[in-house]
Amino acid sequence: MAKSLPLNNKEEILKYIPHRPPFLFIDRVSNLKIGKSVQASFYLDPSADYFKGHFPQHPVMPGALMLEALAQATCVLFAMTYPSEKKRHFYAGSVKVRFLKPVEPGCDLELNSKAISMISKGGVYEIWARVNGTDVLRGEMGCMCVYEQ
């Protein structure tokens, strides 16, 4: 049976992924089943710089940043499934997604990633994001991990 656990703060999350503020897009991991899936969340702070330019009259979260948030959640799943003392770099490869609804400031973005296939050098994941239980993005992402020597 897969182990399930939360990571309740950014300090815990930072132990598993190389991303750092201001480019960290996960606040909390609420459910993680090692080798299987992860559910995380990110609060879209209305004062975030990207909302000032995307778009000034009707701010929405850039799709590229939603994908980055999902990639970071996937990195947590990967890092906890394949622990290593070596420094790692993560890369998103192929991405097939559909953006279903715009995501506005002040929302809690729920981030989900489920392993379709995973090996120690990467994998393919079903990804989706939700706001208030409504899907805003659905797709598939391929990721790879490179270990430093």
For the chain, what percent of residues have pLDDT higher than 70?
Answer: 97
Tens digits of residue pLDDT in 45-90 = 999 999 999 999 999 999 999 999 999 999 999 999 999 888 888 8
CB neighbours of 125 closer than 8 A, spacing ≥ 6? 74, 77, 113, 114, 115, 116, 118, 140, 141, 142, 143
Output the CA torsion sign for 108, 97, 31, 74: negative
- Show the beta-strand stretches assigned E in the chain: 4-7, 28-33, 37-43, 88-99, 108-119, 122-131, 134-147
pTM (two decimals): 0.93
Fold that domain 4-147 belongs to in CATH: Thiol Ester Dehydrase; Chain A (3.10.129)
User: How, if at all, do strands 122-131 and 108-119 pair?
Assistant: antiparallel
Tell me 102's DSSP state. Answer: -
Q: Is the pLDDT of residue 8 over 60?
A: yes
Could you give the strand order of the β-sheet that contains 108-119, starting from the edge strand earlier in sequence? Answer: 4-7, 28-33, 37-43, 108-119, 122-131, 134-147, 88-99
Q: Is the pLDDT of residue 1 over 50?
A: no
pLDDT of amino acid 4: 60
For residues 51 and 77, give the distance between their C-alpha atoms in angstroms, rounded to a whole number: 28
Residue 89 falls in the annotated catalytic set: no
User: Which of the following is catalytic: 19, 54, 58, 89?
Assistant: 54
Among candidate residues 93, 89, 136, 90, the one with its CA nearest the CA of residue 111: 136
pLDDT of amino acid 3: 53
For residues 4 and 30, give the distance between their C-alpha atoms in angstroms, rounded to a whole number: 9
Between 7 and 130, whose confidence is greater?
130
